[in-house]
Amino acid sequence: MRKIIHFAHISLDGYIEGPGGEFDWPVMGPELSAYSFSLAERAGTFLYGRRVWEMMAGYWPDVESLSDDPHDLKFAPIWRSSPKIVFSRSLTEPGHGARVIGGSNLVDEVTALKAEPGKDLLLAGGASLAAALTAHGLIDEYHVVVHPVVLGGGKALFPEAPERLDLRLDGSQTFDSRSVLLRFLR
């Protein structure tokens, strides 16, 4: 069975975006960039919530005209050629090689997706989607990169959950003398 890996960047105070929705603070140094490419290689499909999808779809198709960052330029062809799934009840035609899952039974749809043959699934955005998948025990691994910034508010990685979630630390790693990865298993 394929695993779902949740890959997230957080601030030291636990937020995935700042009070105004900003996500301009994660720094992708060479070591963190290499790690993210290893996750992309391990995964066969990228998973997104609708809001993050719209951000990704507005950036990655034309990144060469928007950025000269080496990480972005290397990741763009991987993003373009990889299968992508958007979880949304309102989006019907996502474009860019993506398909939509928007049915009423998230658990059944994701369980079937995990049972398909192929590489693992990489959830790289969508706090509400991650919370829903977590609540149903559908995320197998959490790869959380802590960045040295305090945002003072914003959107939490884990919004208030109805019950406690105990995870097992599987490893940690420092990147670029700047950020720390915490890898947990369910």
Predicted pLDDT of residue 101: 92
Does residue 126 surpass a pLDDT of 90?
no
Task: Give per-residue pLDDT as tens, 98-121.
Answer: 999 987 788 999 999 999 999 999
CATH code, domain with 83: 3.40.430.10
Residue 19 lies in a domain: no
Residue 23 lies in a domain: no
Residue 122 lies in a domain: yes
Predicted pLDDT of residue 28: 93
Residue 76 lies in a domain: yes
Report strand pairing: 43-49 vs 141-147: unpaired
What is the Cα–Cα distance from 186 to 169, expressed in whole angstroms?
A: 9
Residue 102 lies in a domain: yes
pTM of the model: 0.94
- Other CB atoms within a 10 A radius of the CB of residue 99 amount to 10
Domain count, the chain: 1
Residue 154 lies in a domain: no
Residue 18 lies in a domain: no
What is the Cα–Cα distance from 35 to 14, expressed in whole angstroms?
A: 21
Task: Give per-residue pLDDT as tens, 160-184.
Answer: 777 788 999 999 999 999 999 999 9
